[in-house]
């Protein structure tokens, strides 16, 4: 998967951003890509893509937060089907896994602080404590979890052309559990990921068994890892 080169002047135009967005669609469309949920969202037209500048900068944090508020509101109005909001950062400084993880959590902290400042409630169905097995993020009163992807990810399924944060609604996966569909989908993803990478991602755990925070960046961490995030509504 090739990256799209910027315009000769170094500026970024709408055509370039469209090509950046298409690079993620192409990545998900690849036969070996394991996440059947993302494939379903892409096929149904419920994968929204927001192209931003740089994961190490807060330049677009207000845009991202506004998109999450709209996403939460739209979901409450029509909670059917799988959907994802992907934020792609067109600038890539060649971040390694630890650097991407730091910048990803910086963006999450900034966006969460804005959510709290605006008086948005924390989704009562999840915990704001990143050490709690029931932890999830909350924007606009809806719980979200994040899947981080970037060019230097160790797992092939996370190795996108550009740094990317995919926001998924916690509630839609709870609905899959209630319908008895979640475990089948999870097993399909694990089998496909093993076929792609040669082994199963050791960081994967079910919600309620261990905090999902350690899974967000895609980097393999040990039990000593401490989540660099504190939501002001969790204190």
10-residue averages of pLDDT along the chain (235 residues): 46 82 97 90 94 96 97 89 92 91 98 97 95 95 96 95 96 80 78 83 62 91 92 81
pLDDT at residue 209, rounded to an integer: 66
Is 7 a member of any domain? no
Is 80 a member of any domain? yes
- Provide long-range contacts, Cβ within 8 A and 24+ apart, for 188-197: 188/36, 189/34, 189/35, 189/36, 189/37, 190/34, 192/32, 192/33, 192/34, 192/35, 192/36, 193/34, 193/155, 193/157, 195/32, 195/34, 196/32, 196/33, 196/34, 196/156, 196/157, 197/155, 197/156, 197/157
- Tokens for 11, please give them: 């500026």
CA separation, residue 163 to residues 16, 42, 112, 213 (Å): 16, 19, 20, 18
Please report the beta strands in the chain, taking only residues with DSSP state E, as ranges in sequence order. Answer: 47-54, 84-91, 137-139, 142-149, 164-169
Is 181 a member of any domain? yes
- Cα 126 from chain centroid (whole Å): 17
Is 9 a member of any domain? no
pLDDT at residue 183, rounded to an integer: 75
pLDDT at residue 6, rounded to an integer: 47
CA separation, residue 31 to residues 93, 157, 191, 195, 222 (Å): 28, 11, 14, 11, 31
Q: What are the phi and psi torsion angles at 178 (to 5°)? A: -60, -35
> Domain containing 215: what range?
14-234
Is 2 a member of any domain? no
- Tokens for 127, please give them: 């915990």
User: What's the CA gap between 58 and 151, in Å, rounded?
Assistant: 20
Tell me how many domains the chain contains: 1
């Amino acid at each position: 998967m090739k990256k799209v080169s910027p315009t000769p002047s170094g500026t970024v135009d709408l055509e370039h951003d469209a090509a950046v967005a298409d690079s993620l669609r192409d990545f998900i469309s690849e036969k070996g890509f394991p996440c059947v949920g993302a494939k379903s969202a892409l096929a149904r037209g419920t994968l929204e893509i927001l192209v931003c500048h740089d994961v190490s900068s807060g330049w677009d944090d207000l845009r991202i937060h506004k998109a999450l508020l709209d996403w939460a509101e739209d979901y409450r109005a029509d909670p059917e089907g799988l959907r994802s909001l992907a934020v792609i950062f067109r600038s890539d400084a060649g971040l390694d896994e630890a650097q991407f993880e730091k910048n990803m959590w910086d963006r999450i902290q900034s966006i969460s602080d804005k959510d709290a400042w605006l008086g948005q409630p924390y989704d009562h169905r999840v915990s704001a404590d990143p050490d709690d097995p029931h932890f999830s993020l909350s924007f606009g009163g809806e719980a979200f979890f994040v899947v981080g992807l970037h060019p230097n990810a160790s797992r092939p399924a996370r190795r996108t052309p550009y740094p990317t944060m995919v926001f998924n609604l916690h509630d839609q996966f709870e609905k899959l559990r209630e319908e008895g569909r979640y475990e089948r989908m999870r097993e399909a993803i694990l089998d496909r990921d093993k076929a792609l990478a040669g082994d199963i991602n050791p960081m994967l755990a079910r919600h309620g068994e261990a905090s999902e925070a350690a899974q967000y960046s895609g980097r393999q961490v040990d039990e000593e890892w401490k989540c660099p995030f504190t939501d002001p509504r969790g204190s």
